[in-house]
Structure 1
Amino acid sequence: MPQAKEAYDGRFQPAIDGEDCRPSDPSDADTLWLLGAGLVMAALAATAGLTDFLGEPRVRALRAAWHHMIGNIVAVLAEIVNLWQRLEQGDAFVVPTGLVVSAGVTLLLLYNGWRGWEMVYRGRVGVAD
């Protein structure tokens, strides 16, 4: 589901002017809400994805499906830690650790999107022939 990816990606916006990547408010409520929304959407996407994965042996036979699932699990776990640490440490976690985690998850979601594309267009998952 692209909504989960967009919610995660939407909170990874370092300062364009190069001054500072720290939020103006230590709690950075927008970031916390976007991380939370991304986790909620990821749970909904996981429900649909796990239904396909467990319900169709042909899907489980695809390497791309395994990579997609494992990558998404790692991304969600990283974002749970990201949210938790931002709530616990506030501004101190954002630079540099929070940005590194966010950048890593963004790259991982690009990879997961590619593997999802491969499942649909090469593996014909979810396509009626």
Structure 2
Amino acid sequence: MEDLSRQHLQESRPEGSPSAVALGSHPIHPMLVPFPIAFLITATASDIGFLLTLDSFWARVSLWLLGGGAAMGLVAGIVGTAELLIIGSIRRRAAAWSHSVVAVMLLAVAFFNWFMRLSDPVSTIYPAGILLSALGLLLVSAAGWLGGKLVFEERVGVKEA
């Protein structure tokens, strides 16, 4: 019985797409994305920390997290775009294009949020900064969900045994 369910699972699972941008056999894009995800989510938390304490330390933390998240997101985006453009089986997946569009929107929001705060990290947090951070949180969640769908459901970047 277990062999039949394993066989059915393998037959129903789509064929994976290998990674073209890898270090050894490990895809680079999934190695990079945890950094912008963590930085941009934590920027929202530090914005809230500022709003609760009015301590300018949290405003500076948000500025650095947004800059780091935007920069690392750009690096991850370049690698992800290379994967999308090089591998035809990835280009044929709607989720890959959706992930790409949401990620570009996220980068635009993150860079704008960071750039707007450069001159004065404190006064720009409320209301524009916190709203942009919340939008970034929504976009990072959507991009992460779509990226997870690509890996776990559509087996993108998964080396078949």
| TMscore range, shorter length | 0.7 to 0.9
The CA deviation at 1:22 is 6.9
Unaligned runs of 5+ in 2: 1-32
Residue in 2 aligned with 1:93? 124
Instruction: Find out whether 1:54 has 2:85 as its counterpart.
Output: yes
Alignment partners' CA distance in 2, 1:38 and 1:12: 12
Unaligned runs of 5+ in 1: none
Output the aligned Cα RMSD: 2.0
The CA deviation at 1:90 is 3.6
Alignment partners' CA distance in 1, 2:158 and 2:57: 46
Instruction: Find out whether 1:42 has 2:73 as its counterpart.
Output: yes
- 8 Å CA contact 2:60–2:121 kept in 1: the answer is no
1:42-74 per-residue CA deviation (whole Å, 9 max, x = no partner) reads 122112201210111111111111111111111
Q: TM-score, normalised by structure 2?
A: 0.71
- 8 Å CA contact 1:26–1:90 kept in 2: the answer is no
Q: TM-score, normalised by structure 1?
A: 0.87
Structure-2 change in CA distance of 1:118 and 1:22 (3 Å): same
Residue in 1 aligned with 2:151? 120
Instruction: Find out whether 1:12 has 2:44 as its counterpart.
Output: yes
Of the candidates 98, 102, 111, which is equivalent to residue 142 of structure 2?
A: 111
Greater Cα radius of gyration, structure 1 or 2: 2
Amino acid at match of 2:36: A
- 8 Å CA contact 1:22–1:91 kept in 2: the answer is no
Aligned length: 126
